[in-house]
Amino acid sequence: MVMRLYVDSQFISPYAMSAFVSLIEKGLNFEIETVDLAARAHYSASYATTSITRRVPTLVHEDFALSESSAISEYLDEGFVGNRLYPAELKNRSRARQVQAWLRSDLVPLRDERPSVVVFQGARKSSLSNAARASVDLLFSAVDGLLKVGAENLFSDWSVADVDLAMMLNRLIMHGDPVPDRLVTYAAHQWHRPSVRAWLAKNDRYRVK
């Protein structure tokens, strides 16, 4: 049975992108089903039977449906062969999952003031508030402690956490906010990974280039 991945119809959800990239990296066959979030289709009764959280992404594999992008990535990594999505070494694997959880739960002012439409649709927003600038400082400080100078990935090999971190950095980079050069280089490297480019190709802003 071919897997089915439910994503937002505009292809601007960073979490849907993360799950999509995970499937591509594992080399799995899957279909995409889009959900119109603007029309609140994710709150429909029919979708509720598929996704208990009524969110995207949701992965359906046989009779099993799973929401939350990091949970999907872990399911795919532990259940299927292909490129590793997380480091093999326990401490690095735990760190990668920590990074994912942190990016999803913290830095709220930054995510609010530089939403994903900045990255995927070129939206322009006002200057960052003091709260958002504090989030930026926290982000840069954390990355300085995680990313070795000159490294292309957080760990010796690529992991899905690299895509999630690059997405957070690109909220600033693609808006023209100041970002240290080495972090710009890191984010650009992640953004040119074939699995990421496959997601971007589904977005109107990138498709025309």
We report the CATH number of the domain holding residue 63 as: 3.40.30.10
We report the CATH number of the domain holding residue 187 as: 1.20.1050.10
My answer on whether 41 and 25 are in the same domain is yes
Give the pLDDT score at 208.
Answer: 47
My answer on whether 115 and 161 are in the same domain is yes
My answer on whether 54 and 98 are in the same domain is no
My answer on whether 75 and 152 are in the same domain is no
My answer on whether 168 and 111 are in the same domain is yes
- Cα–Cα distance, 5 to 57 (Å, whole number): 7
Helix segments in the chain, DSSP class H: 14-26, 45-48, 69-79, 90-105, 108-113, 116-121, 130-146, 160-173, 181-191, 194-200, 204-207
pLDDT band at 207 (very low <50, low <70, confident <90, very high): low
Taking residues 190-207, report their average pLDDT: 88
My answer on whether 64 and 129 are in the same domain is no
Domain range for 68: 3-84
Percent of the chain exceeding pLDDT 70 equals 97
Give yes or no for a contact between 85 and 25, defined as CB atoms under 8 angstroms apart: yes
Count of the separate structural domains present in the chain: 2
Q: Which of 84, 113, 143 is the last residue of a domain?
A: 84
My answer on whether 79 and 158 are in the same domain is no
Do the domain assignments include residue 117?
yes
My answer on whether 76 and 108 are in the same domain is no
My answer on whether 104 and 192 are in the same domain is yes
Do the domain assignments include residue 108?
yes
pLDDT in tens, 82-91: 999 999 999 9
My answer on whether 106 and 182 are in the same domain is yes
Residue that is written with structure tokens 């509720």 in the block: 48
My answer on whether 56 and 110 are in the same domain is no
My answer on whether 180 and 124 are in the same domain is yes
Taking residues 22-46, report their average pLDDT: 89
pLDDT surpasses 80 at 209:
no
* Adjacent-strand bridge partners of 35: 8
Q: Number of C-alpha atoms within 13 angstroms, CB side, residue 130? A: 0
pLDDT in tens, 101-157: 999 999 999 999 999 999 999 999 999 999 999 999 999 999 999 999 999 999 999
Give the pLDDT score at 20.
Answer: 98
pLDDT band at 29 (very low <50, low <70, confident <90, very high): very high
pLDDT in tens, 152-169: 999 999 999 999 999 999
